[in-house]
Structure 1
Amino acid sequence: MTERVAFSRRALIVPLLVVAGIAALTLWSAFGGMAPRTAPQDEGARPVRFNMAWLPQGSMAGIFVAIDKGYFADAGLAVEPVRGFGGMRTANELDQGMFEFAYLDPLSVALSRAKGGKVRMIGGINMRFPAGACFVRERHRVERPADLAGLRFGAGQSSAIQALLPAWLRDNGVDPARVEQIQLDPAIVVSSLVEGRIDAAECWLGNSMALFDKAAKAKGVTVGRIAYADFGLDVYGSGFAARDALIEKDPQLVRAFLKAAYRGYADAARDPKAALAIIRKSYPLLDEAVTERQIRETAELMAAEGGSHRLRPEKIERTVATLQASGQLRDFDQSAQLFTNAFVPMGKQP
C-alpha cells in the first residue's frame, strides 16, 4: 500500500506542476492584470473591499449587479471586489483587516476562531451545503460515501473540505484512511479529475460544477456527483462575513452593505441573463454558459430555506460538531460567536 501511495504521488507531481504553471498564466491573463470595470462611484463614497474567496464567477453576480445598478452607491459605499485564494486564507485575510467583508463559509470561520481569529458570518448565501464529491462515470461508480474507499480524492489546499472529509466519511461508516486525500492548487482540481490524475474531487454548485461538466464534455467523458448534504451533512455553505471589530464599531456599514448586496442577488435571481451581462462588463473573458449556470445554481441555493438569509443556531452548531468529530475544535465553546442575524434584511428585497 505504501508503495502504491508513493507511486501515485510521484506520478501526480510532474504533470501537475506543468498544469499549474499553465493555469497560473491563464488566470493571470483572464483576471490578474485587469481590475473590474464598475459603475462610477461618488467621490465621497466610503471605500469598501470585498474578498470573493476565489476568482470572479457567477456566485458573485449579486455583488456586481449591486455595483452596476448603484445599490452600493445609494448607500454611500464604493465596493471593490477582490479575488481570493480559498476559504481558510480568506478568513485569515479578513481577520487581519485586509477587507471589510468576505464571501466565507462557517467551517472556515470556526477553524479561524479556534486559532484566535475574530470573524463571524453576518448573513447566508448558500443555505444548503453546495459541496459534493465528483467522479468520472466512465472510470468509477460512486453512489454513496463507501464507494470512495480506495480512491484518490483531490481538493484545494485551502478548502475546508480538507478538514471536513474525514469526519463525513466516518459518519457514513467509511474509514478515512481508505480514501487518499491529495491537496491541490484549486486551479487544477477540475483538470486533474477529468484527465485521470485523481479519482474523485471536491465540486461545488454555484462554482466548479459547471467547469467540471464543460471540461468533461471536451474530453468525451461525463461527470457524476454525490452531494454531502444527501449523506448527513446538513450545514450551511458560504455567506457574508465580517470582523467582530467592524461589526461593533460600525453596525450601520454592515447593515447598509448587506441590504445593497442582497438586493443585487435578488435581481440576479430574477434575471440571470442580465446579471451575466453585468458581470461580463468587468470580466469579458468569463465563459457565458458556465457563468450563467453558476448564477442560476446560486439562486437555487439561496432559496433553499424559503428565501431566508438568516442562519439557524442548530445548523451552525452542526458545523462545529462535524469539525469536532474530525478531531478539531476540541473544547471549542464559541458556536454562538460564529454568526449574527442582527443585520440581515427582513422580508423580500425590492
Structure 2
Amino acid sequence: MTPRAAFSRHALIAPLLVVAAIAVLTLWSAFGGNAPQAAKQAEGARTVRFNMAWLPQGSMAGIFVAIDKGYFADAGLNVEAVRGFGGMRTANELDQGMFEFAYIDPLSVALSRAKGGKVRMIGGINMRLPAGACFVKERHRISAPADLAGLRFGAGQSSMIQSLLPAWLKDNGVDPARVEQIQLDPAIVVSSLVEGRIDAAECWLGNSMALFDKAAKAKGVSIGRIAYADFGLDVYGSGFATQDALIEKRPDLVRAFLKAAYRGYADAARDPKGALAIIRKAYPLLDEAVTERQIRETADLMAAEGGSHRLTPEKVARTVTYLQASGQLRGFDQTPQLFTNAFVPMGNQP
C-alpha cells in the first residue's frame, strides 16, 4: 500500500466509524423489527416472506401497494416484507429458505450459483442498470470514466457492482490501479462524498440519488453523475428472485406472487403520491420528498425496454462476461439457469 493510500484510509476510518455507529442506531430505531403493514389478509392465506435487500424505500413501493390494496390477498398470499443487508447476503438467505422471494441483482445470483446456490431471477424491475458514479460539481468535473483516474472512489461494501468496476474501467481505457476503490458502510457513503472524504461515490437511481442531492443541497453544493450504462455496462439491475425448489414445487405460487407484485408496481407508477402515502403508513419516518423521487425513478427504470419485465439471455450473459473479466466465475456454465421468464405476466397490468 502506498503512503498516500495508507494515509487516506487512516484519515477515513476514525470519523467514519463514529458516523457508522450513529447511523446504525438511527436506522435501527427507525426501521428495526417488523413494522406494521396494512395488509388485507385473506382467510387461510399462505404467508410468504419477501427480502427487500436493504432498508424500506421508494423502490419497494409496489410491494406495499400490493399488500395494502389486497392484491396479494386476492391471490391467497400474506406477504411479509422484511429489510435486507445487501445483495450477496440476500442471495444466501434466499438460498437457505429464510425467504420465499427477494429483490436481488443478477450479479449476486451468479456469484451465489457459482458457490452451489440454487436461486434465480424470475422478473425484472430495474431494466436499466441504475448505478453510476456521483461527484460534487464544485470540486470535480467528471464526464467520462477517464476522469476518475487519481480519485478516491467510495461505495458500499455490499455493492456487487464493485466487482465489475475494474473490468468497466479497463473497457473504457482506464487503468484500475489509478482509481482508489474504498469500501464503506453503506450508511455513510452519501456523507463521505458531500463532506469531501472521498472524491466520487457509487449512486443509484431509485435509491441513493435522492439522498445525495438532499445532503448536497444542505451543504450548499450540487451533485453530478455519470451512468455506468452510458459507458458500456449494459446489464440489468435488481429484480425478483426465488429458489429453484419453489419454482419446481409451487409454480402456481411464483406466478401468483409476480402477478400481484407487478400490479402493485403498475399502480405506484400511475399514482406515485398514492404509493407514497401507502408506504409511509408502514414506515412513517421515511422522508416524503426522497421516497416519492425513488418511486418515480423506479417507475422510469421499469419502463425501459418498452416496459417489459422479461430478461433477455444476451443481457444476462453480459453480467457473467463482466464478472469473468474481473477474475470471477472461472469456468461458470450456469448462465441459462440465472433467470426464467416463465412466470412474468404478459401484457399491460390492470
Alignment TM-score, normalising by the size of structure 2 = 0.99
State the match for 2:240 in structure 1. 240
* Aligned-pair CA distance for 1:34: 5.1
State the match for 1:334 in structure 2. 334
User: Is the Cα–Cα contact under 8 Å of residues 130 and 227 in structure 1 kept in the other structure?
Assistant: yes
Equivalents in 2 of 1:88, 1:155: separation in Å?
15
Query: More displaced, 78-87 or 155-164?
Result: 155-164
State the match for 1:78 in structure 2. 78
Query: What is the count of residue pairs matched by the alignment?
Result: 350
Do structure 1's residue 194 and structure 2's residue 194 form an aligned pair?
yes
Give matches, 1:161-310, under 5 Å. 161-310=161-310
State the match for 1:54 in structure 2. 54
Equivalents in 1 of 2:187, 2:96: separation in Å?
25
Equivalents in 1 of 2:199, 2:85: separation in Å?
24
User: Is the Cα–Cα contact under 8 Å of residues 95 and 118 in structure 2 kept in the other structure?
Assistant: yes
Equivalents in 1 of 2:239, 2:161: separation in Å?
16
State the match for 2:120 in structure 1. 120
* Aligned-pair CA distance for 1:38: 2.1
CA RMSD of aligned residues (A): 0.9
User: Is the Cα–Cα contact under 8 Å of residues 106 and 121 in structure 1 kept in the other structure?
Assistant: yes
Equivalents in 1 of 2:71, 2:299: separation in Å?
19
User: Is the Cα–Cα contact under 8 Å of residues 121 and 242 in structure 1 kept in the other structure?
Assistant: yes
Equivalents in 2 of 1:225, 1:89: separation in Å?
28
Give matches, 1:8-27, under 5 Å. 8-27=8-27
User: Is the Cα–Cα contact under 8 Å of residues 155 and 161 in structure 1 kept in the other structure?
Assistant: no
* Aligned-pair CA distance for 1:114: 1.0
Do structure 1's residue 156 and structure 2's residue 152 form an aligned pair?
no
Runs of 4+ in 1 over 6 A off after TM superposition: none
* Aligned-pair CA distance for 1:172: 0.5
Equivalents in 2 of 1:203, 1:151: separation in Å?
16
User: Is the Cα–Cα contact under 8 Å of residues 34 and 82 in structure 2 kept in the other structure?
Assistant: no
Equivalents in 2 of 1:39, 1:341: separation in Å?
28
Deviations 1:154-192 (A, max 9, x none): 111111122011111111111111111111111111111
Equivalents in 1 of 2:34, 2:52: separation in Å?
15
Deviations 1:200-243 (A, max 9, x none): 11100000000000000011111110000000011110000001
Deviations 1:315-350 (A, max 9, x none): 001111111111111111111000000000000110
Corresponding residue SS for 1:304: helix
State the match for 1:29 in structure 2. 29
What stretches of structure 2 of length at least 5 have no aligned partner? none
State the match for 2:105 in structure 1. 105
Equivalents in 1 of 2:25, 2:213: separation in Å?
22
Do structure 1's residue 132 and structure 2's residue 132 form an aligned pair?
yes
Corresponding residue SS for 2:332: coil
Q: What residue identity is the alignment partner of 2:193?
A: L
Query: More displaced, 20-29 or 55-64?
Result: 20-29
Equivalents in 1 of 2:223, 2:187: separation in Å?
18
Alignment TM-score, normalising by the size of structure 1 = 0.99
Deviations 1:3-22 (A, max 9, x none): 00000000001100011011
Equivalents in 1 of 2:306, 2:23: separation in Å?
38
Q: What residue identity is the alignment partner of 1:55?
A: L
Deviations 1:73-108 (A, max 9, x none): 000100000001111111111111110000001111
Q: What residue identity is the alignment partner of 1:247?
A: I
Corresponding residue SS for 2:41: coil
State the match for 1:44 in structure 2. 44
Q: What residue identity is the alignment partner of 2:226?
A: I
Equivalents in 1 of 2:202, 2:13: separation in Å?
19
* Aligned-pair CA distance for 1:37: 2.5
State the match for 2:319 in structure 1. 319
Equivalents in 2 of 1:202, 1:183: separation in Å?
10
* Aligned-pair CA distance for 1:146: 0.6
